[in-house]
């Protein structure tokens, strides 16, 4: 069991310790605090302070007192169940580290599956128009921009606190739009012209128990009403209106929505609806295409 008092004393003798010992102690402390990924989190925090990647941590010079103090403060914050990404100040997504903190949803690795699915769909399109609805930190928009510097990317977000982080992460190259992603007025000028919509909206059914780390995400980013579909239901119609004929959408959803979300996409008039699972086999996202010839007449379907 971690002993808070002895941790302070131990830190007084840090000059005798290397990162390996400090990480081991921190991992014990995080385990005692109920952190599942205690060892990995301790290593990430040590890497952040040492300024090295995980492969090099074993060879990093022993930390001085300032570094140990900083490490100890970060471990204490993580032990209080602040998300690791908030403690570090960034979250990795695709090939970038995005700035995150209070008021914005921390991007999750499984959302990268939408990017993997989408990029090949843009392969034959020059200067594609891409819309990230419910953009949060801008994870999806940023990933597309990383891979397709020719894309025109729009990122829609409703919450002022999230917009602060979104503007910071998409300072160059994307258009940040403050508004309700479900409203027909939002990006109306793009109706029938969008090549790709990516969206990871709030979708957790209200009342679902969540870990302290998920509870640190804004409730408006996580919960989607009693059945989790309050945002998705109107959103699919907005998506159908935005897409050009032949345009594609990928929408992330709760693992209880493996049938409901594909059915909503069909009801919105979209074709080629496919349900996808994540790497642990859980229903995770659905994709669809707007029927029609890309060169044909454009116009909303809903």
Ligand X SMILES: C[S@@+](CC[C@H](N)C(=O)[O-])C[C@H]1O[C@@H](n2cnc3c(N)ncnc32)[C@H](O)[C@@H]1O
Name the residue nearer to ligand X (CB basis): 137 or 248.
137
CA atoms of 26 and 78, how far apart (whole Å): 10
Find the binder of ligand X among 79, 87, 88, 134 (CB under 6 A): 134
Structure tokens at 118: 């989408």
Find the binder of ligand X among 83, 136, 247, 283 (CB under 6 A): 136
What separation in angstroms does the CA of 177 have from each of 43, 155, 183? 37, 6, 12
Q: Is 195 in the site for ligand X (CB under 6 A)?
A: no
Q: How many binding residues for ligand X (CB under 6 A)?
A: 23
Residue stretches of the annotated binding site for substrate: 200-203
- Answer yes or no: are the C-beta atoms of 10 and 48 closer than 8 Å: no
Q: Is 101 in the site for ligand X (CB under 6 A)?
A: no
Name the residue nearer to ligand X (CB basis): 128 or 201.
201
Name the residue nearer to ligand X (CB basis): 147 or 271.
147
Q: Is 169 in the site for ligand X (CB under 6 A)?
A: no
Q: End-to-end alpha-carbon separation of the chain, Å?
A: 59
Q: Is 107 in the site for ligand X (CB under 6 A)?
A: yes
Name the residue nearer to ligand X (CB basis): 224 or 246.
224
Find the binder of ligand X among 197, 221, 240, 264 (CB under 6 A): 221
CA atoms of 251 and 196, how far apart (whole Å): 11
Residue stretches of the annotated binding site: 157, 200-203
Q: Is 202 in the site for ligand X (CB under 6 A)?
A: yes
Query: Is the Cα torsion angle 204, 210, 211, 212 positive or negative in sign?
Result: positive
Q: Is 242 in the site for ligand X (CB under 6 A)?
A: no
Please identify, among the stretches 72-80, 120-128, 174-182, 270-278, the one whose residues bind ligand X according to the rule CB under 6 A: 174-182
Find the binder of ligand X among 26, 50, 118, 162 (CB under 6 A): 162
Number of H helices, E strands in the chain: 12, 9
Please identify, among the stretches 1-9, 155-163, 236-244, 276-284, the one whose residues bind ligand X according to the rule CB under 6 A: 155-163
Q: Is 159 in the site for ligand X (CB under 6 A)?
A: yes
CA atoms of 231 and 221, how far apart (whole Å): 10
Name the residue nearer to ligand X (CB basis): 25 or 157.
157
- Answer yes or no: are the C-beta atoms of 205 and 224 closer than 8 Å: yes
* Three-state SS letters, 34-75: CCCCHHHHHHHHHHHHHCCCHHHHHHCCCCCHHHHHHHHHHH
DSSP-based helix, strand, coil % in the chain, nearest 5: 40, 20, 40
CA atoms of 51 and 45, how far apart (whole Å): 10
Footprint on this chain of ligand X (rule: CB under 6 A): 105, 107, 111, 134-137, 139-140, 156-159, 162, 180-182, 200-202, 220-221, 231
């Amino acid at each position: 069991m971690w002993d808070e008092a002895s941790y302070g004393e131990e830190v007084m003798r840090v000059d005798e310790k290397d990162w390996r010992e400090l990480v081991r102690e921190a991992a014990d402390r995080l385990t005692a605090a109920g952190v599942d990924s205690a060892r990995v989190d301790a290593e990430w925090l040590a890497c952040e302070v040492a300024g090295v990647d995980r492969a090099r941590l074993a060879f990093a010079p022993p930390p001085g007192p300032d570094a140990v103090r900083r490490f100890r403060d970060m471990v204490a914050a993580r032990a209080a169940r602040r998300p690791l990404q908030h403690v570090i100040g960034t979250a990795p997504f695709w090939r970038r580290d995005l700035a995150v903190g209070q008021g914005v949803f921390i991007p999750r690795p499984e959302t990268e599956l939408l990017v993997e699915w989408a990029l090949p769909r843009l392969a034959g399109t020059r200067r594609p128009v891409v819309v990230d609805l419910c953009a949060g930190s801008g994870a999806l928009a940023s990933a597309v921009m990383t891979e397709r510097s020719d894309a025109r990317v729009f990122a829609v977000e409703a919450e002022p606190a999230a917009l602060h982080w979104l503007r910071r992460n998409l300072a160059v190259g994307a258009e940040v739009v403050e508004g309700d992603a479900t409203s027909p007025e939002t990006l109306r000028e793009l109706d029938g012209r969008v090549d790709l919509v990516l969206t990871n909206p709030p979708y957790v059914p209200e009342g679902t128990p969540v870990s302290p780390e998920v509870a640190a995400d804004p409730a408006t980013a996580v919960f989607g009403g009693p059945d989790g579909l309050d945002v998705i239901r109107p959103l699919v119609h907005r998506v159908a209106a935005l897409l050009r004929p032949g345009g594609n959408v990928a929408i992330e959803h709760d693992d209880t929505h493996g049938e409901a979300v594909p059915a909503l996409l069909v009801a919105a008039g979209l074709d080629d609806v496919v349900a996808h699972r994540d790497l642990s086999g859980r229903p995770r996202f659905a994709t669809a295409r707007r029927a029609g010839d890309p060169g044909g007449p454009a116009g909303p379907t809903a």
